[in-house]
């Protein structure tokens, strides 16, 4: 079933992605040490990874690092604990294997890990390595600060001396590269070979076919003209198309349902943008003003600058705007489109653009 809000697990529930799936399965079979899966939020990275690992018949854990506290090792251990307990639904092997780690308590409810000894995670990872597990770190760029550094050095250690494959996913691509330290010789993962895979939004044709098939799976009718509009407005982002499909199940595939999708999805997208702003409290208004200017059609450097200066009633230094745009691109809220000597900025997610327009 396509219209399901959870990440997909099975091949038959995943629309297309044949190429990406083939490549990922191949890399997993080869035990590639670090695989990076990148793409904007809701494009289907987690679904791709889950289906690929199930198809490869490999055991795996998926550690969700979204919003992790960058200063708390304890939070990191909790995230691993959750991932292990989720993996227990697929296989019981971890209960037996982890029972020998002193800090791990195994009960009929699952496992509890005490975080007091710093290297407990490394011991657990060694056990996972023995059992030929794959470790997926979802939204790994959220691990910053001391926790990020520690995690990167653990991955580097296994790369150099071990045989435990890591799949790293990230939706904030520039920040993902920061985590990987691709440009920083002092970063733990600098210089390691990364297999990269990009998951893109659906093309217009794919989006349309996805919706048509999704509706036919439900035995529901939907007019093509309406579906074309949905794909255009939601710009082929699978997660948003699924959101529309789910609402259409009760409300029908109509203009009103599309509006409802936009308004519910806007809240989610704005919430995520606000999370990003939380870490930039001092310049919050500036970030907002820049995004609003772009959402309202000011796409070139000088147009954005003029709008920002109007908003603040004073001149803004080029370096200030430059830093703001760079941070927004790094976090994948903006895309920088270079066409010869012309540079324009575009909001990556049509839903966030819609939310900021109002
Ligand atoms: P990401 O990890 O990139 O944020 P998810 O894998 O969580 O994306 O997918 C977001 C939503 O879109 C989920 O509801 C998922 O089921 C759906 N989805 C994504 N890609 C596909 C696909 N190829 N076929 C069917 N559903 C998909």
- pLDDT, one tens digit per residue, over 152-185 is 999 999 999 999 999 999 999 999 999 999 889 9
CA 183 to ligand 1 center in whole angstroms: 30
Please give the Cα distance from 186 to 190 (Å, whole number). 7
Pocket test for ligand 1, best of 4, 8, 24 (most atoms within 8 A of CB): 8
314-322 — which CB contacts under 8 Å span 24+ positions?
320/286, 321/290
Does the structure show a pLDDT above 70 at 358? no
Residue whose C-alpha is closest to residue 289's, from 271, 307, 276: 307
Q: Contact 291/273 with Cβ under 8 angstroms?
A: yes
Q: What is the pTM of this model?
A: 0.95
Q: Using one digit for the tens of pLDDT, what is the confidence trace for 35-48?
A: 999 999 999 999 99
- Which residue's CA is minimally distant from atom 20 of ligand 1? 44
Summarised one tens digit per residue, pLDDT across range 80-136 is 999 999 999 998 899 899 988 989 999 888 999 998 887 899 999 999 999 999 999
CA atoms within 13 A on the CB side of 56: 23
Q: Name the one residue in this structure whose structure tokens are 């789910």.
A: 246
State ipTM: 0.99
Nearest CA to ligand 1 atom 14: 5
Q: Are 238 and 202 in contact (CB under 8 A)?
A: yes
- Kindly report the average pLDDT of the chain as a whole number: 96
**Ligand 1 in reach of 47 Cβ (< 6 A):** yes
């Amino acid at each position: 079933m396509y219209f399901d809000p959870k990440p997909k697990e099975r091949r038959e529930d995943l629309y297309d992605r044949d190429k990406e799936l083939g490549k990922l399965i191949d890399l997993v079979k080869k035990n590639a040490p670090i695989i990076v899966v990148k793409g904007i939020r809701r494009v289907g990275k987690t679904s791709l990874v889950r289906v690929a690992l199930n198809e490869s018949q490999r055991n795996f854990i998926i550690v969700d690092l979204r919003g992790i506290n960058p200063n708390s090792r304890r939070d990191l251990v909790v995230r691993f604990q959750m991932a292990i307990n989720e993996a227990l639904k697929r296989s019981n092997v971890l209960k037996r294997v982890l029972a020998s780690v002193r800090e791990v308590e195994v009960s009929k409810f699952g496992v509890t890990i005490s975080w007091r000894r710093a290297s407990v995670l490394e011991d657990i990872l060694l056990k996972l390595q023995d059992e030929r597990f794959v470790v997926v770190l979802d939204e790994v760029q959220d691990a910053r600060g001391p926790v990020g550094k520690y995690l990167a050095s653990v991955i580097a250690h296994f790369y150099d001396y071990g045989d435990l494959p890591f799949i790293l996913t990230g939706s904030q691509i520039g920040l993902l590269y920061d985590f990987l330290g691709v440009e920083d010789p002092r970063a733990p993962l600098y210089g390691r070979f990364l297999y990269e895979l990009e998951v893109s939004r659906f093309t217009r044709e794919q989006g349309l076919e996805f919706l048509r098939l999704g509706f036919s799976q439900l035995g529901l009718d939907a007019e093509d003209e309406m579906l074309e509009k949905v794909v255009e407005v939601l710009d082929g982002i699978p997660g948003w198309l699924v959101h529309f499909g789910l609402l259409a199940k009760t409300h029908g595939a109509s203009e009103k349902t599309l509006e409802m999708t936009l308004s519910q999805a806007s809240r989610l997208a704005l919430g995520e943008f606000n999370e990003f702003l939380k870490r930039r409290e001092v310049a919050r208004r500036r970030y907002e003003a820049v995004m609003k200017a772009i959402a309202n059609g000011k796409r070139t450097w000088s147009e954005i600058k003029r709008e920002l200066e109007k908003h603040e009633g004073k001149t803004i230094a080029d370096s200030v705007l430059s830093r703001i745009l760079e941070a927004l691109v790094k976090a994948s809220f903006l895309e920088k489109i270079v066409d010869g000597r012309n540079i324009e900025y575009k909001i990556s997610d049509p839903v966030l653009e819609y939310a900021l327009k109002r």
